[in-house]
Amino acid sequence: MPTEDDHKLGLDRPVTRRDFLNGVAVTSAAALACPHLAWAAAADPVSRTPAGYPPALTGMRGSGYPRAYQTGHSLRDGNYWPQAPVAIDTSETYDLIVVGGGISGLTAAYLYQKRHGRDKTVLVLDNHDDFGGHAKRNQYTFGETLRLSSAGTFDLAAGRTPVQREVLADLGIDIPALTQKNVNTGFYSSLGMGQGVFFDKETFGADKLMKSPLPWTDFTYMYTPNPPSDAEAMWQQFLKDAPLSEAAKKDLYRLYHDRKDYLPHLSYDEKLAKLDTMSYEDFLLRVVDCDPMVCAFLRDKTFGDGRGIGSTPALLAHTRFGLPGFDGMALELEPVAEEAVYHFPDGNATVARLLVRKLIPAALPGHTMEDSILAHVDYAALDRTGQSCRIRLSSTAVKAVNLTIGGKTRGVEVEYSRDGILYKTTAAHCVMACWNFVIPYLCPEMPAEQKEALAYNVHTPNLWLNVWLRNWKPFHKAGINFINAPNGYYSQIILEHPITVGGYKHSQSPDEPIVLSMLRGYVRPGLDIKEQFRLGRMEMYNTTFEEFEREARSQLGRALGPYGFDPAEDIVGITVNRWGHGYSYWYSALYDEFLKTGGEPPHLRARVPFGNITIANTDAAGICGTGLAIDMAARAVDELTFS
């Protein structure tokens, strides 16, 4: 029974937000039996989007729906094999099987064919109903207006290595040119909009949305003047009105303005070592002697790397996030190379879509990067008999075994589960472009030491929620297009990036529909980082769609209600991208002993070829990134041996 609050928030409205309620599709039985035909059969009455077209599905998405994760989780829990059906032999045989259809897996398939011949046969298996891995698209159609967003990864840097540049060039992606041509950098500032902060009453004693005087340090938003031209006036306003204690205000101001050496007694090298082995939070509290409320205020500023300030080395907080407190220390660090970074309207899903077009031209009509943006994927074309590359979705690999004849490995047999049925197929080679920690379950015969090194990589849980709004007039009225909500349920609230490309136009005026992204970080201060990730993932998977929705509606209503936002009227759809296994693990002197002892990084031991199986995926680089996913794919393809 909806309460009065539910009614005000719009939780009782019939909007398109629940195609995948708690991860279970609300579609017909026929659609479930034949998901790739389902979209043709029915159209969503509100969004006019073909129901069942993966990027257009709302509700629980990302990798957080049972069809994507159930088999993998039962494999992990030891429940899969005792109940596994007998494997059906597909009688197919390929030159290469790639496990994982993210950027790395698609690149491996592409480079394999490019290097060895377009007629070489490749099967790509992925457990999701869409390709791209973390690089997936979300979309929503308001009448005639299409809005796009990334479901996960969005920043694309110009290629740093020859193979990255080769692949981007092959796909027709020229980052510096795109950045110059397609990004309307001054769009929001020309409307008087900029960065804001939402103080909540639970943490700060009052609900208050304000303009923020802080320089832009947040990872999510770069297309804006930095620092704001009227920063000092904004600081004075902020100091007057922010619901922070006087001590916290004073400390914040000095933190951002003083050029003091807080570690004068240490030599230069000692300073670096100290800042690398203490968290930014400790630095603020114990070295700069800030009021604890300063830490509450800055808590989420490092969420871009999936960790809170209590789990991020002070040095990294400075070098990567530009956080304050270091200006007086004369740290002559290598300047971060200036490089063009671009966001496609659907993030790096465009890269995945272009790779798919290279592999299976019929799946994505058109010929240029520009015409790909509005092109519709024909999912039925991904896995047709007779084509040299086939992408088989909703298929979880459960085993990969080197076949041995006469003491020599001769190919690989891969078993995968699709809709509860177990299949087996063979190939000359296999590239594992899935996550490192999955591989030991798939390759039981691997040496124990390699399995241990693979399992070292525990991913960060990331939540990326897209809210489809009828208009953004309240944001315009508040003069804010990006909100940091320290300690809020969602910590970053971002209006879409102002990018126009290939016939796609970003929302042009506050009266028009728009997509708003809301991000949540999962931190458990004080615990080991991997334990934080495990608990965060558990929390994420135990949160229902309704809870995510309620929090989003309530937070937006509280922040923007005074500017006319009505959660019940203004929100027309919600897509919750749960990435239980999000960012790859990155090393830090706060947690990784081998950095102190000088041991070999686990990812190097983890990615050693195993017979005819080689290992791609960004995990194999020991940190995540689109470029690295490409590098690792190239390495894995190069490592395949031919006898």
Ligand X SMILES: Cc1cc2nc3c(=O)[nH]c(=O)nc-3n(C[C@H](O)[C@H](O)[C@H](O)COP(=O)(O)OP(=O)(O)OC[C@H]3O[C@@H](n4cnc5c(N)ncnc54)[C@H](O)[C@@H]3O)c2cc1C
The binding site for ligand X (CB under 6 A) comprises 63, 72, 99-105, 125-128, 133-135, 152-155, 396-397, 433-435, 438, 462, 464, 579, 582-583, 617-618, 624-626, 629
For 500, counting Cβ atoms within 10 Å of its Cβ (0-12 exposed, 13-18 middle, 19+ buried), the class is middle
For residues 10 and 570, what is the distance between their CA atoms, to the nearest angstrom?
A: 9
**Least distance (Å) from ligand X to the CB of residue 22?**
19
**Least distance (Å) from ligand X to the CB of residue 609?**
17
For residues 349 and 344, what is the distance between their CA atoms, to the nearest angstrom?
A: 8
**Least distance (Å) from ligand X to the CB of residue 488?**
18
Dihedral sign (CA 181, 192, 490, 558): negative
**Least distance (Å) from ligand X to the CB of residue 474?**
26
**Least distance (Å) from ligand X to the CB of residue 642?**
24
Read off φ and ψ for residue 559, nearest 5 degrees: -75, -40
Q: HEC string of 441-489? A: HHCCCCCHHHHHHHHCCCCCCEEEEEEEECCCHHHHHHCEEEEECCCCC
**Parallel/antiparallel/unpaired status of strands 137-142 and 145-150:** antiparallel
**Least distance (Å) from ligand X to the CB of residue 295?**
25
Read off φ and ψ for residue 597, nearest 5 degrees: -90, -10
Instruction: Pick between residue 47 and residue 466 the one whose CB is nearest to ligand X.
Output: 466
**Least distance (Å) from ligand X to the CB of residue 309?**
19
**Least distance (Å) from ligand X to the CB of residue 342?**
10
Long-range pairs, 535-542, Cβ under 8 A, ≥24: 536/460, 536/461, 537/461, 537/580, 537/581, 540/64, 540/461, 540/463, 540/578, 540/580, 541/64, 541/578, 541/580
Instruction: Pick between residue 304 and residue 557 the one whose CB is nearest to ligand X.
Output: 304
Instruction: Pick between residue 438 and residue 640 the one whose CB is nearest to ligand X.
Output: 438
Instruction: Pick between residue 210 and residue 493 the one whose CB is nearest to ligand X.
Output: 493
For residues 408 and 423, what is the distance between their CA atoms, to the nearest angstrom?
A: 25
Instruction: At 97, list the tokens.
Output: 């099987």
Describe the strand order of the beta sheet including 462-469 as a list of residue ranges: 24-25, 20-21, 59-62, 571-579, 462-469, 514-520, 492-495, 480-484, 194-199, 208-211
Instruction: At 600, list the tokens.
Output: 């070999």
Are 560 and 549 contacting, i.e. CB atoms less than 8 angstroms apart? no
**Least distance (Å) from ligand X to the CB of residue 477?**
30
**Least distance (Å) from ligand X to the CB of residue 191?**
25
Instruction: Pick between residue 11 and residue 432 the one whose CB is nearest to ligand X.
Output: 432
**Least distance (Å) from ligand X to the CB of residue 161?**
14
Strand partners, 465: 518, 576
Instruction: Pick between residue 47 and residue 532 the one whose CB is nearest to ligand X.
Output: 532
Q: What is the DSSP letter of 284?
A: I
**Least distance (Å) from ligand X to the CB of residue 397?**
4
**Least distance (Å) from ligand X to the CB of residue 199?**
26
For residues 450 and 263, what is the distance between their CA atoms, to the nearest angstrom?
A: 42
3-state secondary structure of 612: coil
For 485, counting Cβ atoms within 10 Å of its Cβ (0-12 exposed, 13-18 middle, 19+ buried), the class is buried
Instruction: Pick between residue 570 and residue 619 the one whose CB is nearest to ligand X.
Output: 619
**Least distance (Å) from ligand X to the CB of residue 624?**
4
For residues 453 and 437, what is the distance between their CA atoms, to the nearest angstrom?
A: 9
Instruction: Pick between residue 250 and residue 418 the one whose CB is nearest to ligand X.
Output: 418
Instruction: Pick between residue 464 and residue 468 the one whose CB is nearest to ligand X.
Output: 464
Instruction: Pick between residue 275 and residue 519 the one whose CB is nearest to ligand X.
Output: 519
Helix (H) or strand (E) holding 191: none
Instruction: Pick between residue 278 and residue 455 the one whose CB is nearest to ligand X.
Output: 455
Are 62 and 151 contacting, i.e. CB atoms less than 8 angstroms apart? yes
**Least distance (Å) from ligand X to the CB of residue 135?**
5
| Residue 334 CB contacts under 8 Å (≥ 6 apart), including other chains | none
Rounded to the nearest angstrom, the gap between the alpha carbon of residue 31 and the centroid of all alpha carbons in its chain is 28
Q: What is the DSSP string of 497-536?
A: P-B-BTTB----STTS-EEEEEEE----TTS-HHHHHHHH
For residues 96 and 433, what is the distance between their CA atoms, to the nearest angstrom?
A: 12
Instruction: Pick between residue 332 and residue 338 the one whose CB is nearest to ligand X.
Output: 338
Residue type, position 262, single letter: Y
Cis previous bond, 227, omega within 30: yes
